[in-house]
Homo-oligomer: A and B are copies of this chain.
């Protein structure tokens, strides 16, 4: 009997596998039973209507993909009135992801989304803060702290801060999010990137720049999960490039209490369920009673850890 359940800042998940925001919707029920997932995470919603970015919105790269969807959204009212009910046909805890252009907007949207149907709020602070010239909140500790404090004050829901990998100071940002009142961290969103079609000489994305996801970024994000988990006491949810069960274990060893799967679902919508089954079988085979035993269990002798002086 393997215990796959995990504790995540006030929530108990039946297993540590959930979808990443923006890579999942109830539409997947055409192919799999969403009730088997640890949690459901919505696409990020915004306060008002947003059209999203011009197409093409995706492009593929070496072992990864670029996207610049642009957070198209019908706005929070349609989200609560129409989107949430579609998710609530299913039983796993529901995590509502929200994005906002300004801290004030974040407060309003988090207040609005703090309804009984929502079990936790994922605060997507990887999105640009217009008050800082479009720099993402989570690129710096200061702006992370201030926006999380404001959001914390306006909602009693468990708050997950979704961090950006586009920073040189992930540990400081992680600490700031914890100090600001986050109950868990999601590490991380996509990596800022770009590709150019050399034939047409045009960017491959309508929005020029976009976010890189998929296996290409896994080592980058595993490193950030490791640094974040060492820096904070709250659970860290690993997210970036997970393709299979071994990747889940790697993230958990690095310090993750649970994981989110994004891009892989585009390749195999059944992948998350396969991973849940394999994870259980793996634990059983290794005599591991609870999957949480993996969390933070990487073996690092203190003297091994040099400065990040690679090269």
Contacts and interface: CB of A to CB of B under 8 A. Distances in A.
Interface string A35-77: 0000000001000000001100000011110111111000000
Given A168-B167, A201-B253, A299-B200, A309 B71 contact: yes
Interface residues of A, number: 78
Nearest to A249: B198
Given A62-B215, A69-B310, A201-B253, A193 B168 contact: no
Contacts of A218: 61-62, 195
Contacts of A195: 218-219, 222, 250
A11 B196 CA distance: 28
Contact of A168 (B166, B189, B201, B250): B166
Contacts of A26: none
Given A167-B168, A253-B198, A308 B192 contact: yes
Interface stretch (A151-159, A204-212, A268-276): A204-212
A304 interface: yes
Contacts of A231: none
Contact of A250 (B126, B128, B191, B198): B198
A106 B99 CA distance: 43
A217 interface: yes
Contacts of A168: 135-136, 139-140, 164, 166-168
Contact of A44 (B62, B164, B201, B311): B311
Interface in A153-198: 164, 166-169, 189-196, 198
